[in-house]
Amino acid sequence: MTRVLEKIVRGRMTKGIVVPVAFVILTIVSAGAGRAEDTGAVSASAVQAKTKYCEVCHGADARGFLGYYPIPRLAGQQVEYIENQLKGFIEHKRANTASPTTTNIMFDVGHVLSPAMIKALATNFHALNPSPVGGAPKDNLAAGKTIFDEGVAGTDVPPCASCHGAQGEGNGEIPRLAGQLYPYVVKQLTNWSKERAEKNADVMAPIAHDLTASQIEAVAAYVSYLK
């Protein structure tokens, strides 16, 4: 398996395609794991090991990572939301590719996880609350706060807080937005119909569609600084 992966990496590099090291590591882990975890409970050590593997891409304490492409913050995220997203990747209802030439990374990672492991990982990440990565532009934070708290007047865009919570904490299957990476939120809202096809994605589709590029950037910047 390692030799096969080396050939894939070499082939992509010769075509000028950058392959993140984390992708290679996680693919090796996923391939080696097989379906060994399909039944029974999971040990604390196994959960800790998987958590560390997740942090290779999602950053220390799962704060998110600004690299080749934005990798989202998992820290503090709602348990049910994380479970739903992993199921979406596993069932090919949600895509996750670095570029058109790469495979579905999160499917490769997620399909080897048992329901018990998924629950344990989601619970672990929910308990984390490191400081946001930050780095978003601050000149439009006031506009972002208005959209978040009040929605957009004259449109069908409701206040983000009405679903995501006053501090962007989320609730159940509704995700936490507080501290989420600015470029990740911009990317998701801009490409919603292409990025999201999982449970209840249709609720956000018309809202995302009605937001202008500047409004998306403003609200993304605002939530990225929430703690």
pLDDT tens, residue by residue, 43-76: 999 999 999 999 999 999 999 999 888 999 999 9
Q: Mean pLDDT check: name the lowest of 26-35, 86-95, 208-217.
A: 26-35
**79 and 168 share one domain:** no
Band (186; pLDDT cuts 50, 70, 90): very high
Shared domain for 154 and 214, answered yes or no, is: yes
Q: Tens digit of pLDDT for each residue in 129-145?
A: 999 999 999 999 999 99
Q: pLDDT band for position 81 (50/70/90)?
A: very high
In one-letter notation, the amino acid at residue 155 is: T
Three-class SS state of 30: helix
Q: Can you give the pLDDT at residue 40? A: 62
What's the domain count of the chain?
2
Question: What pLDDT shows up at residue 161?
Answer: 98
Quote the mean pLDDT of the chain.
83
107 and 164 together in one domain: no
Does residue 133 form part of some domain? no
The pLDDT of residue 8: 38
Q: Does 74 lie in the same domain as 41? A: yes
Which amino acid, 162? S
Place of tokens 């956000």: 204
Contact indicator for 170, 164 with CB cutoff of 8 Å = yes
User: Does 87 lie in the same domain as 24?
Assistant: yes
- Spatial CA neighbour of 127 closest among 171, 194, 79: 79
CB distance 24 to 32 below 8 Å: no
pLDDT, tens digit (0-9, with 9 covering 90-100), for 172-182:
999 999 999 99
Listed in sequence order, the residues at least 6 apart from 40 whose beta carbon sits closer than 8 Å to its beta carbon are 114, 116
Domain shared by 162 and 95, yes or no = no
The pLDDT value recorded for residue 28 is: 41
Q: Is residue 132 part of a domain?
A: no
Q: What is the mean pLDDT of residues 145-163?
A: 96
Indicate whether 20 pLDDT > 90. Answer: no
The share of the chain scoring above pLDDT 90, in percent, equals: 65
> What CA–CA distance (Å, rounded) separates 124 from 30?
20
Residue 171 β-bridge partners: 174
Q: 190: which strand partners?
A: none
Same domain for 159 and 50? no
Is 114:41 a contact under the CB 8 Å cutoff? Answer: no
Question: Does residue 134 sit within a domain?
Answer: no
| Cα gap 18→9, rounded to integer Å | 9
**Residue 41, both tokens:** 């409970």
Determine the average pLDDT of the residues in 182-199.
80
189 pLDDT higher than 50: yes
pLDDT over 90 at 100, yes or no: no
Q: How much is the pLDDT for 9?
A: 39
Residue at 135 is within a domain? no
User: Of how many residues is the chain composed?
Assistant: 227
What pLDDT does residue 192 have? 84
Residue 178 located in a structural domain? yes
- Residue 122: closest CA among 86, 71, 163, 171: 86
Range of the domain at 179: 141-224
Q: Is pTM, for the whole model, over 0.85?
A: no
Same domain membership, residue 202 and residue 120: no
Does a structural domain hold residue 131?
Answer: no
Burial class (CB in 10 A: 0-12, 13-18, 19+), 43: exposed
Looking up residue 180, the CATH number of its domain turns out to be: 1.10.760.10
What is residue 195's predicted lDDT score, i.e. its pLDDT?
60
Contact 28, 5 (CB under 8 A): yes
